[in-house]
Amino acid sequence: MFSRLRNLLALLLVLSLLAHAIPVSAQEGNPPVDPNGAWGEVINPNGSINYDNLTDGGVVSQPAAWMPSIPLVGPLNAEYRVYYTPSGNTIVLPTATTLFFMAANSQESGFDAAASTLGTSGLSTAEGTNVFTGIAGLGLFFGSLFGNGSEVNISLPSGQQILSGTFFQQVLSGQQNLYALGPGGLFNFLQSLSQASIEDSSLYTYLLLYTPGQCATVPGGCTPEQLALLATPVPTSTPPPSACPAPSVKPGEISAGGQDDWPPYPLVVGQDPDKNGVNLTFNASVAPTIYTYYTQEPIEECAAGPKANGSYDCYNKGVGGHKVVTGYECVQRTKTYPECIDFATGSIRLSDESRDWILNELSIRYPGAYLHRPSFSFSGSGCSWSASKKNVQVEDPGIWNISVRGRTSGTPVSAPRGFNRAGTDFKVWLKEVVIVK
pTM, full prediction = 0.42
Residues 209/116, Cβ–Cβ less than 8 Å: yes
Instruction: Look at residue 9 and tell me whether its pLDDT is greater than 60.
Output: no
**Mean pLDDT to the nearest integer, 55-71:** 89
**Mean pLDDT to the nearest integer, 359-367:** 86
CATH of 254-289+338-428, one of 3.30.420, 2.50.20, 2.60.40, 3.40.50: 2.60.40
Instruction: Please provide residue 281's backbone torsions phi and psi, each rounded to the nearest 5 degrees.
Output: -130, 145
Query: Where, residue-wise, is CATH 2.60.40 in the chain?
Result: 254-289+338-428
- What percent of the chain is modeled with pLDDT above 90? 35
- Tell me the CA distances in angstroms from 95 to 53, 54, 275, one per residue in order: 22, 19, 49
Query: Average pLDDT over the chain, rounded to whole?
Result: 76
pLDDT band at 427 (very low <50, low <70, confident <90, very high): very high
Instruction: Look at residue 334 and tell me whether its pLDDT is greater than 70.
Output: yes
* Most distant pair of Cα atoms in the chain: their distance: 105
Higher pLDDT, 171 or 374: 374
CA atoms within 13 A on the CB side of 211: 15
pLDDT digits (tens, 9 = 90+) for 155-209: 444 445 555 456 556 655 555 555 554 455 666 777 777 777 777 788 888 888 8
Which residues, 6+ apart, have CB-to-CB distance to 423 below 8 Å? 257, 258, 259, 282, 346, 401, 402, 403, 404
pLDDT band at 230 (very low <50, low <70, confident <90, very high): low
Higher pLDDT, 22 or 41: 41
pLDDT digits (tens, 9 = 90+) for 402-425: 999 999 999 999 999 999 999 999
pLDDT of amino acid 161: 52
- Tell me the CA distances in angstroms from 9 to 3, 13, 184, 222, 328, one per residue in order: 10, 6, 21, 47, 71
Rounded distance, CA 401 to CA 423, Å?
7
Of the candidate ranges 232-236, 322-326, 419-423, the one whose mean pLDDT is the lowest:
232-236
Angle between helices 135-146 and 2-19 (to 10 degrees): 130
- Tell me the CA distances in angstroms from 225 to 87, 127, 159, 231, 292, one per residue in order: 9, 25, 38, 10, 14
Rounded distance, CA 79 to CA 109, Å?
12
